Chains A and B, each alone.
Chain A
């Protein structure tokens, strides 16, 4: 079993839709959770970061962590064609937060 599971998609939605991206994990020691966005043929860039359980909102993006279920989500409201990318979840148990375990990434396509 992989430490982090993420549906690779692709997920195709119309412009303006609410998008839900998810990851599950097996290591209960994970306490730092991140979402990275990766455009085609580019390096990943940090989108959202949360510590432990709870929600965090940043503009159109909301990250949720449910440690009891070992489940994290990223919601994108009013999705735009520019949101089309691969979204990678990443998590760490390391107190320094520097050894990340990544999910496989979900490909998102927002159609105009």
Chain B
């Protein structure tokens, strides 16, 4: 039981490049989330999904896109990378129905130069 896995662990992008951050969970959780964590700023919700085919914006969605074609996978797409997207990205999942524990992946450290 791997929990929540994220790839890659590290990535350096040039300004204007695009990439997809991968997230997979094997706990059959309906809810999945993408956060970014900047130093001293806590976690900010980018997008979340309540089930396959359903996604919604969080607090900081600009510059990102998501899709949810399966229960297990929730990729985050960065289009036209900008230095402001330099951050640590965490994917998380949780069950529906009042379980408030979110299980986090190990994170992806992204630098845009």
Contact = CB atoms under 8 A, between A and B. Distances in A.
B107 A43 contact: yes
Interface in A72-108: 88, 90, 92, 96-100, 102-105
B76 to A, nearest CB: 15
B86 to A, nearest CB: 16
A42 B45 contact: no
B44 to A, nearest CB: 8
Interface in A16-46: 32, 34, 41-46
Interface residues of A, number: 24
Interface residues of B, number: 27
Nearest to A33: B100
A4 B42 CA distance: 10
A43 B100 contact: no
A42 B48 CA distance: 20
B98 A97 contact: yes
Contacts, number: 60
B7 to A, nearest CB: 14
A95 to B, nearest CB: 9
Contacts of A96: 96-98
Contacts of A14: none
B94 A42 contact: no
A44 B100 contact: no
Contact of B40 (A43, A92, A104): A104
Interface of A: 4, 6, 8, 32, 34, 41-46, 49, 88, 90, 92, 96-100, 102-105
Interface of B: 4, 31, 33, 40-45, 48, 50, 58, 90, 92, 94, 96-107
Given A44-B104, A102-B43, A104-B40, 9 more contacts: A42-B107, A43-B90, A44-B90, A49-B100, A96-B98, A97-B100, A98-B94, A99-B45, A104-B42
